[in-house]
Amino acid sequence: MKNDNKDTLKKKNKKKKVHGTLNINLSQADFLNNNEERANKLYGKICLFAGFLVMFCLILNESGVFRIAPVIMRIVCIASTILFFIPFVISYLLKCKGEWVKYFMITDILIVVVMLYSVLSYHVMMLWLFPLVSSIIYFDKKLVHFAIFTTVPAIVLGHYLAATLLLLGDDPLRTVKAAMLYGALPRIIVFLPIAFIARQVARKASKMLTNVIDNSNEIGRMTNGIQMVMSQTQGLMGTRDMSVLAERMVLNLGELLTLMLSPEKKPVGTVGVLDGDHFYTVDSDGNPNNICRDLGDDIGFEFNNARFRLSKYIEGATSYSEEREGFVNIRFYDKGKLMGFASFRQDVESDDYSMKEVLNIYTYSTTSIINNTMLTFDMFRTQEQLAYSLAVVSENSSQETGQHIRRVSEYARVMGKYVCDTAEQLETFRIAAMLHDIGKLMIPKEIIEKPGRLTAEEFGVMKKHVIYGRDIIGNAPGEVMEMARHIILHHHERWDGTGYLGVSGEDIDKFARYVSVCDVFDALLSRRSYKAPWPAQKVYEEITSQSGRQFDPSAVEAFKKCYVEMLKIRDQFPDDDSDEENLLSADSQIATAENDKINDQEAQRRKALPKINVDPAIVTPISI
């Protein structure tokens, strides 16, 4: 039996990129650029406040509290206020950006300090520290050095102007020589140690900032890695096929290494998982490479010019990851038994703590998933064999139904691409669809095979087969049986609510809606004791005409897309020779222009589908 469940849903089954990853990765330059804008605004507000203080000093001078030359005081105060307002305008109003802004503002303030000192002399002596202290808030050592080397000559110039103008009556330094020797020189001597301390503060702050950013980046890197592992783990859960698990694992590991290490090229690796009595191995693209060799108690494989030999069993061994000689190796052990392995050609720094922790988390979580997949696989195959056994019993109970159950299962596989979200769900749907008519085991054969129309009483008995079928399944565990219960109960419901149980619209199980189309399609094409088979074209017209009445419109649209493929399935599993002759007759061909168009569209769609390797042993009939 052909089964293309592995790759049919490739587009639906693609894993999305991890959402919500932390965008913590900032370089020191990025942080400083962000900090500069905030520091510029803070500096601008401080200068604005200082400008108001200067105007207040002017008011005091004008009111006679101070006794300084009025004209010069006015000129200096007004000019200083304007210069103080400029940083506020540039940073807060115009929002200018660029490295020049901070250097301009330091220079601007130095000019103001020189002007004020030339008039107020020693009364504003502490202003010489203003540019230096202001430069520290930028965490920029170069700016601190600029403030130091410009403040020293500014101190000399300020003292020279103060001694030359002599606007302050109580200034003890009355000559230029005295101003230089007893004013500028001592203040420079005091300023330099303070400048040295400021430089050290800036250097320490810059170093601390670098460490904080590096730690934040590392935390973000590890967090993003853990988030990806969690997302990948969810994607691996529920996998029923070891080959599918291996394909997803190798892709996941490639994505994880790319996220954590940002390599220039896509990481190259191989992954193997224990599948029965051998290891199924795939390459970086998820394609089987069959490189694993059985060496008795060990397995061996050669990958990327390196040879590996692993023990199948090591007492007490647990899963682990390691980085050695340019490879990232992961070994999955459970109770000492080797369950799988992964090897990627990738260099990892010996002190890369985050990478190692993320790999450990991936290793431990994936080990349990490998075990769960093995258990799930066994449970699923058990359900599949049970479903097939029941289907065979149901088929053998009536010559009327013949291959009906098998065909409906195959129709469901084809149409299920439009209702199932994953390949695993599609396979579950295919098997569950086998059981849709299992309840007919409880219906008398004379009713099932009665020629002609059933009486109202007989039809009432026939309708009970959905209840009988649900009860036969009962509370049997597993995904297949859970889905089958809903399909059995609802596959005779109509979209308009006039079905067996009166359920309508979205309240009908979505999988049962598709089985309903499959069931009717096959029943109309087949010979029954009460009717001859319908021509294929008439069946097509009947089903499409019932969209929105008997059938879910979405299911009908899926039927249109799958019609040609479903006809081929009908030809593949005929009930008898006469039925096969009917299918090959002219009436069963797609004769109308509309159906020619459908046929062309289907051919184009099938060309676009990926080639699928089918394992014919996925479902093996069992003897009963």
Mean pLDDT value of segment 52-81:
89
Between CA 622 and CA 384 the distance in angstroms is 11
Q: Which residue, among 553, 556, 551, 568, has the nearest Cα to 606 in the 3D structure?
A: 568
Describe the strand order of the beta sheet including 327-334 as a list of residue ranges: 278-283, 268-275, 337-345, 327-334, 320-324
Residues 6+ apart with CB under 8 A from 362: 229, 232, 253, 256, 321, 330
Between CA 580 and CA 197 the distance in angstroms is 98
pLDDT band at 344 (very low <50, low <70, confident <90, very high): very high
Query: How would you class 26 by CB atoms within 10 Å of its CB: exposed for 0-12, middle for 13-18, buried for 19 or more?
Result: middle
The CA-based angle 105-107-113, given to 5 degrees, is 105
Position 313 pLDDT exceeds 60: yes
Q: Which amino acid is at 162?
A: A
State percent of the chain over pLDDT 70: 83
Q: What share of the chain is helix, strand, coil (3-state, %, to 5)?
A: 60, 10, 30
CA dihedral 70→71→73→77, nearest 10 degrees, is 130
Residues 6+ apart with CB under 8 A from 320: 330, 331, 333, 360, 363
Residues 6+ apart with CB under 8 A from 196: none
Matching residue, tokens 């039927």: 559
Position 219 pLDDT exceeds 70: yes
Q: What pLDDT score does 487 carry? A: 92
Residue 549 is classified by DSSP as T
Which runs of E-coded beta strand occur in 360-513? none
Q: What pLDDT score does 22 carry? A: 44
The CA-based angle 198-202-208, given to 5 degrees, is 140
Residues 6+ apart with CB under 8 A from 531: none
Q: Which residue, among 293, 356, 366, has the nearest Cα to 324 in the 3D structure?
A: 356
Q: What pLDDT score does 4 carry? A: 44
81-87 long-range contacts (CB < 8 A, ≥24 apart) are 81/51, 81/54, 81/55, 83/108, 83/109, 83/111, 83/112, 83/115, 84/47, 84/48, 84/50, 84/51, 84/54, 84/109, 84/112, 85/47, 85/48, 85/51, 86/47, 87/40, 87/43, 87/44, 87/47, 87/48
Residue 342 is classified by DSSP as E
Position 103 pLDDT exceeds 60: yes
Give the side-chain half-sphere CA count within 13 A for 524: 18
CA 536 to chain centre: 45
Are the CB atoms for 110 and 84 separated by under 8 Å?
no
Position 530 pLDDT exceeds 80: no
Q: What pLDDT score does 23 carry? A: 47
Residue 175 is classified by DSSP as S
Between CA 131 and CA 148 the distance in angstroms is 8
State percent of the chain over pLDDT 90: 34
Are the CB atoms for 419 and 511 separated by under 8 Å?
yes
Query: How would you class 568 by CB atoms within 10 Å of its CB: exposed for 0-12, middle for 13-18, buried for 19 or more?
Result: exposed
DSSP assignments along 235-294, one per residue: HHTT---HHHHHHHHHHHHHHHHHHHH--SS--EEEEEEEETTEEEEEETTS-B----EE
Mean pLDDT value of segment 280-307:
90
487 three-state secondary structure: helix
Q: Tens of pLDDT along 455-502?
A: 888 888 888 989 988 888 877 777 888 898 999 999 999 999 999 999
Least confident of 52-66, 427-441, 469-483: 469-483
Describe the strand order of the beta sheet including 306-311 as a list of residue ranges: 293-295, 298-303, 306-311
Q: What pLDDT score does 212 carry? A: 77
Q: What pLDDT score does 490 carry? A: 94
Q: Which amino acid is at 371?
A: N
pLDDT band at 503 (very low <50, low <70, confident <90, very high): very high
What distance separates the 2 farthest-apart alpha carbons in the chain?
A: 133
Does residue 18 or residue 601 have the better pLDDT?
601
Q: Which residue, among 567, 552, 569, has the nearest Cα to 598 in the 3D structure?
A: 567
476 three-state secondary structure: coil
Are the CB atoms for 258 and 267 separated by under 8 Å?
yes
Matching residue, tokens 């105007």: 55
Mean pLDDT value of segment 326-344:
91
pLDDT band at 20 (very low <50, low <70, confident <90, very high): very low
Position 247 pLDDT exceeds 70: yes
Position 202 pLDDT exceeds 70: yes
Position 434 pLDDT exceeds 60: yes
Q: What pLDDT score does 348 carry? A: 86
- Helix H or strand E segment including 561: helix 553-572
The CA-based angle 263-268-274, given to 5 degrees, is 135
CA 388 to chain centre: 38
Q: Which residue, among 338, 318, 320, 339, has the nearest Cα to 329 in the 3D structure?
A: 320
The CA-based angle 58-63-65, given to 5 degrees, is 85
pLDDT band at 49 (very low <50, low <70, confident <90, very high): very high
Q: Tens of pLDDT along 158-173?
A: 999 988 888 877 778 8
Say whether pTM exceeds 0.75: no
